[in-house]
Amino acid sequence: MSPRRTPTVADCRRALWLLGAQPPLDHAGVLKAWRARVAQSHPDRHVGDERREQAAATLTRALNEARETLDWWIDEDLDWPAPGAGGVREVRFDEPEPWPEREPAEAVAPVCPLTGLRRGDQVRLRPYDGDLLVVEGTEVDQRDRSVWVRLVDHPAARADRVRLAAFSCPACGACAGPAVDEPTIRPCPDCLVDLRRLEQRPDEAARIRRAIEARARAGESMAESIGDGRLADRARERRRWARRLGPAGPEDLQAALLGAFSSAWERWGERPVREA
């Protein structure tokens, strides 16, 4: 059996993690790890408890997919991903708690306050027309205080050369290409900064509203230039929204802006990070 789509290095890492297996592996090793996991998680073990039965079935499916991924990896004779940061974590088989509670919780990665990026974000490097890359994390070089973005399967890049890609901001309508089936819907770094500022300085509301209207306008042209009608619609809607707020009094304006930022932030903040 082969996977439904070509697995990525991240899929391979996830599969190794799910099966609690350490590379290098052969088919027999994959089968052994898979059997051990399935024995612990089989839905039959939870008969009578619908919620657990369902969770166990989901997990069994994930384990089957992990096995397919690793078998494919071996057949293709690909290099195993290096362990380390973001790599294979040790999973012990003798953990006391029963399946399916051990289904890996997809953590919400923290947002870097310096860049507005977080692990899993899709980005492109200057001049912003190359392949999509995935953020692994950010760090500051203590020698010159420069900020660097670590990238999956790519050398780190200075933060000022990295820009969010394939996303659309639900607060201001800013967006970036390339056009993809499912762009990330997330507040843009400018909105994250504006939210923080607005919380501290309510008198900045009018300036922030104007900035949002400008970003919405830029988002509209960007969406049109990459030919994505949905992103263009969102940007247009945000531009109209920002313009309607023009005559609002300071308190109403601050409340409206905070509301828009917060709902954008919450929706995004709660969403688990997609694996690269």
* Binding positions for Zn ion, rule: CB under 5 A: 169, 171-172, 174, 188, 191
The stretches of the chain forming alpha helices (DSSP H) are 9-19, 27-41, 50-75, 189-200, 205-226, 229-244, 250-270
Would you say 20 or 189 has its CB closer to Zn ion? Answer: 189
Instruction: State in angstroms the smallest separation of the CB of 174 from Zn ion.
Output: 5
Nearest 5°: CA angle at 247, between 244 and 251?
105
In the complex, minimum distance from the CB of residue 256 to Zn ion, in angstroms, rounded to a whole number:
15
Residues 118, 124, 125, 128, CA torsion sign = negative
3-state helix, strand, coil in the chain (%, to 5): 50, 10, 40
Closer to Zn ion by Cβ: residue 38 or 172 = 172
Task: Tell me how far apart the alpha carbons of residues 28 and 4 are, in angstroms, rounded to a whole number.
Answer: 22
| Residues 155/143, Cβ–Cβ less than 8 Å | no
Nearer to Zn ion, 7 or 183 (CB): 183
* Shortest distance (Å) from residue 229 CB to Zn ion: 19
Q: List Cα–Cα distances, 48 to 43, 45, 52, 55, 189, in angstroms.
A: 10, 9, 9, 13, 48
Minimum CB distance to Zn ion, residue 186 (Å): 9
Our CB check for Zn ion shows the closer of 185 and 255 to be 185
Q: Which is nearer to Zn ion, 121 or 136 (CB)?
A: 121
Paired tokens of 244: 């309607």
Cβ nearer to Zn ion, comparing 33 with 208:
208
Q: At its nearest, how many Å lie between Zn ion and the CB of residue 172?
A: 3
Q: Quick one: how far is CA 238 from the chain centroid?
A: 23
Query: What is the nearest approach in angstroms of Zn ion to the Cβ of residue 216?
Result: 8
